[in-house]
Chains A and B, each alone.
Chain A
Amino acid sequence: MTLLSDQDLQALGLTLRLATTVTALLLLLGTPLAWWLAHTHSRWRRPVAAVVALPLVLPPTVLGFYLLMLLGPDGAVGRLIAALGLSALPFTFKGLMVASMLYSLPFVVQPLNNAFEAIGNRPMEVASCLGAGPLDRFLTVALPLALPGILTATVLGFAHTVGEFGVVLMIGGNIPGQTRVLSMRIYDHVQAGEYHQANVLSLCLLVVSFTALLAMSLLRTRRYPRD
C-alpha cells in the first residue's frame, strides 16, 4: 500500500466508524425530536429549536471548548460521570461521539423537521380515519412520506461528522485509533509538509462526499419519478 499508510487507513476507518455511529444515533434520537418540533404547540418549541440550531452558527471551537469544560473532570457532567463510576469522556472515542452528535444535530433534525412539516396533518388524519393507530400511522405514513428528508438528513449528518475539525481538536485531541480522525490526519500531513499524503486523504473525503450526494439524488429520483 503506497498511497495510504497504516496510520492513514486507521484514521479513515475511525472516521467512517464515527460518522456511521453518530448518524445512526442521530436519526434514532433526532426523528422523535423533529416530530415533536413539527407538531407541538408547547411554548418550549422555539427555545428548543434554537438550541438545536445553535451549532449552525456557533464556531466549532467554541462548542468544543464548552464541551471540554462541561465533560472535563471539573465540569458538571464530568463529575456526574465520575460519580457514576464511568470513565471520563474527553480525549476518547465516546467523547468524540457525544461532541459530534451535538455538532451534527441540526443537520439531521432540520431536514427531518422540514419533511414532517411539509407532510402536514392531513395524511395522518386520513390514516387515522382508516383505522391506523398513532405508531402504525407514523411508521406507515409519516416515515415513508418523509423519506426524502430522511435521506437528506442522513447524508448531511454523515458528511458533517466526517468533516468536523474544530470540535475534534478541542475535545478529541489527536490520539491514534481513538480520536485521530481524517481531518486531523490531513492537518498533521500539512503541518509536516507532506502535501502528497494530505492530497490523497482529501481526495478520499471529496470522493466520499460526492458519491453520497449523487447516491442521494439518484435514490430520490428513483423513488419519486417526475411525472
Chain B
Amino acid sequence: MTEALHGLDARLSWRRGDLALDIDIALPPRGITALFGPSGAGKTSCLRAIAGLERAEGRVSFGHQMWQDSASRVFVPPHRRKLGYVFQEASLFSHHTVEGNLDYGYRRAGRPAHLDREGLIDRFGVRPLLKRRVSGLSGGERQRVSMARALLSDPALLLFDEPLSALDGTARSDLLGCLEDLHATLQVPMIYVSHNVDEVSRLADHLVLMEAGHVVAQGPLQATLTRLDLPPALGEAVGAVIEGEVVGYDAHDQLIGLAFAGGHLWLPYRHEVVGQTLRCRIGARDVVLTHAPQEGSSALNQIPCRIVAMADADHPSQCLVQLDAGGCTLLARITRRSWHALGLEPGGEVWAQVKAVALGP
C-alpha cells in the first residue's frame, strides 16, 4: 500500500447550482481510473475541482505535492499542477494551426527530451493535419489533436472529460482503440470521466462510481463493477469485466476464442489478433444459470461457477447473483422465481450460460 500514497488524494466539498458535491477519492499512482456515473452525477465538476478550475473546500494532494489545502490556504493554480486536461469539446485554439496547438504546452514544458513529440504525433495520426487551421477539422480530428496536445505538455496527471462522447461511431471506435494503445504505454495516471460502460470496461483499471455528487464506490474495476451493493441508478453498468488472451480465430464463423482464468469464451471477431490481451464485458442481464452444462443450446459459452452471494436487485422480481469462475467474479441477474425453483444457494455449483452475441459490439 505504500505505492498508493503517491497517487492522487482528494477530499473536497462544494456546491454547484443545486448539486452538493462531497467527494473523497484516493487513486493509485498508475493506470486509468474511470470516474463513472449517470449524467448529472457531478463527474465533470469533480474533475474540474481536482484540476483547480473550480473552487472547492478541502484538500487535494498528488504524490508528495499539496495542491490544495483550504485549512492552511494552500492553492496551487492549475498551470503549476502539470495537468493534461482534455475537455469534452476539443477546445482547440482557433488562432493557431494544429501544430501551433500541439506546441503550446510542449514549449511551455520546455520541450522535454523524454517526450517523443514525433512519436505522439504519429500515434494520434495528426501528422497530415499539422499545417491545417483547426476550423476545418472534423470532430474526431479535433479530439486527437486535443489529446496529443495534452500529452505533449509533459503532464504528471491526465484528466480526460468524456473525450469521446461528442463523436460518432467510427471516429469514436478509432479513438477508443488509440486510447487502448496509449493505456499500455502510459507512464502517468489518468482520470477518465465517462458515462459509457463500454469505454470504462475497455480502458479503466480502477473505478470511482459517482451518484448525485457523491462517491458511492471505488476500487479496482472488476471488483467494483461486480459488487452487489451498487445503487440502482448504475443498474445497467453492473456486470463482469474479464481480461484474457485471444487464443484462437475461427475465420469461417468469424469468432475468436478468449482464454481467461475462469475458462474459455467465444465472442464475435472484430479486429483482434491471436496472442493479444482483450477485455470483455459480461453484462449481468446476459447470463443464464443452469445446474448442468446444456446440450442443444444456442448459447456458445458455458462456464462452471460457484455461487458466492446473492442480493436484491432494483426490481422486486429479480436478484443479483455473484459467481466465482476460477478466481474471476461474474454477475448474473435472474428472477427470484428461478433462484428458488433451481434451489440455488451460496456455495452451490452452477453453469453460467453466455450468448456470444451478447459479448459483441
Contacts and interface: CB of A to CB of B under 8 A. Distances in A.
A137 B77 CA distance: 13
Interface stretch (A6-14, A16-24, A120-128, A192-200): A120-128
A126 B79 contact: no
Interface of B: 51, 53, 77-79, 82-85, 87, 89, 91, 93-95, 104-105, 108-109, 135-136, 149-150, 153, 159
Nearest to B155: A129
Interface in A106-127: 122-123, 125-127
B interface secondary structure, majority: mixed
Contacts of B91: 122-123, 125-126
Contact of A125 (B53, B95, B105): B53
A137 B80 CA distance: 13
Nearest to A129: B85
A56 B89 CA distance: 38
Contacts of B153: 129-131
A127 to B, nearest CB: 7
A98 interface: no
Contacts of B87: 122, 125-126
Contacts of B78: 125, 128-129
Contacts of A145: 93-95
Contacts of B159: 129
A141 B79 CA distance: 14
Given A227-B135, A227-B136, A129 B93 contact: no
A136 B80 CA distance: 13
B62 to A, nearest CB: 14
A129 B104 contact: no
B320 to A, nearest CB: 40
Given A123-B91, A129-B85, A129-B159, 7 more contacts: A125-B87, A126-B87, A126-B91, A127-B104, A129-B78, A129-B79, A145-B95
A130 B51 contact: no
A59 interface: no
Contacts of A32: none
A129 B108 contact: no
Interface residues of A, number: 19
A223 B260 CA distance: 57
A interface secondary structure, majority: helix
Interface of A: 122-123, 125-133, 136-137, 140-141, 144-145, 147, 227
A59 to B, nearest CB: 40
Contacts of B79: 127-133, 137
A141 B91 CA distance: 12
Contacts, number: 61
A5 B136 CA distance: 54
A227 B87 CA distance: 24
A132 B109 CA distance: 9
Contact of B77 (A128, A141, A144, A227): A128
A126 B85 contact: yes
Given A126-B85, A126-B87, A227-B135, A131 B105 contact: yes
Nearest to B92: A126
A122 to B, nearest CB: 5
Q: Which one of A125, A126, A136, A141 has the highest number of Cβ atoms from chain B below 10 Å of its Cβ?
A: A126
A129 B83 contact: yes
30 contacts: A122-B89, A123-B91, A125-B53, A125-B78, A125-B91, A126-B93, A127-B79, A127-B93, A128-B77, A129-B51, A129-B79, A129-B83, A129-B84, A129-B153, A130-B149, A130-B150, A130-B153, A131-B79, A131-B105, A131-B109, A131-B153, A132-B79, A132-B104, A133-B77, A133-B79, A136-B108, A145-B94, A145-B95, A147-B95, A227-B136
Nearest to B105: A130
B348 to A, nearest CB: 52
B109 A128 contact: no
A128 B93 contact: no
Contacts of B105: 130-131
A77 to B, nearest CB: 40
A116 to B, nearest CB: 14
Contacts of A122: 87, 89, 91
Contacts of B136: 227
A129 B109 CA distance: 11
A123 B93 contact: yes
B104 A128 contact: no
Nearest to B79: A128
B203 to A, nearest CB: 21
A188 B170 CA distance: 73
Contact of A131 (B53, B93, B95, B108): B108
B151 to A, nearest CB: 11
Contacts of A129: 51, 53, 78-79, 83-85, 150, 153, 159
Contacts of A140: 104
Contacts of A123: 91, 93
A-B pairs with lowest CB-CB distance, top 6: A130-B105, A129-B85, A131-B108, A144-B95, A128-B78, A128-B79
Contact of B108 (A125, A130, A144, A147): A130
A128 to B, nearest CB: 4
Contacts of B95: 141, 144-145, 147
